[in-house]
Amino acid sequence: MQLDRILQSQGFGSRKQCRAMIRHGQVAIDNATCADPFAEFAPEGLHFSVDGEPWQYREHAYVMLHKPQGYECSRAPKHHPSIFSLLPEPLVGREVQPVGRLDEDTTGLLLLTDDGQFIHALTSPKRKVPKVYAVSTKHPVDDAQLATLRRGVQLHDEPAPIAAANCEQIAERLIHLTLIEGKYHQVKRMVAAAGNRVEALRRIAIGGLTLPDDLAEGEWRWLEPADLERLWQAADA
């Protein structure tokens, strides 16, 4: 594949912009500057750098982001900064999308990709991919509330009660709630229906993939092959 096409596919701009970058000496292959935009390379596994920043060719982008509070999962945010402001321009340029959204006041694990099939697999209600939330409550959680969440609560505009796939008490005012659906404000509405109130909400796992302890709020990283395998297995279960 020609170098200008490789850069374009990785989100570095139009072919014209990529050609200009290459001709200006901004691109290196294996630490050697390449000024020929039409030079041919095998893209799979190719390591290159742009303005000294290392990159690797990836047919699709799969990343995780530790979403902070006060960010919207939108390219056109209305009231708060966009999560896309936390990502490097090439990822934004290749139009990665969130795999399910989090409210602006919800923090935690957010996946993003440019693979539509991957998004569908993890968000389709038919796949029932589990998502685990750490829920901090206003009032102490009692056994009756836990039982109600496990049994199911009736939410407004929903035809049938909705139950948590799992509900575990971690501390007096902290529970881990596992859901296999994605209704509007579902965790907050379920906890309210059980007689309590959500004070803070953080997603800590999706399909067996847990938010890493060493990934700080606002930081992102590539998903590893083992991460992707775990997620696909959850979607195919």
Cross-strand partners of 16: none
Query: How are strands ordered across the β-sheet holding 53-56?
Result: 32-33, 27-29, 47-50, 53-56
225/160 Cα distance (integer angstroms): 38
The DSSP element (H or E) to which 132 belongs, if any, is: strand 131-137
Instruction: Assess contact for 175 and 139: CB atoms under 8 A.
Output: no
Which amino acid is present at 157?
Answer: D
Question: Could you give the residue ranges of the DSSP H alpha helices within the chain?
Answer: 3-9, 15-23, 89-93, 116-123, 143-151, 186-193, 225-236
Cα 145 to Cα 137: distance, rounded to the nearest angstrom: 11
Residues 46/57, Cβ–Cβ less than 8 Å: yes
By annotation, the residues acting in catalysis are: 103
Q: Kindly state the tokens that stand for 60.
A: 């699709």
End-to-end CA distance of the chain: 37
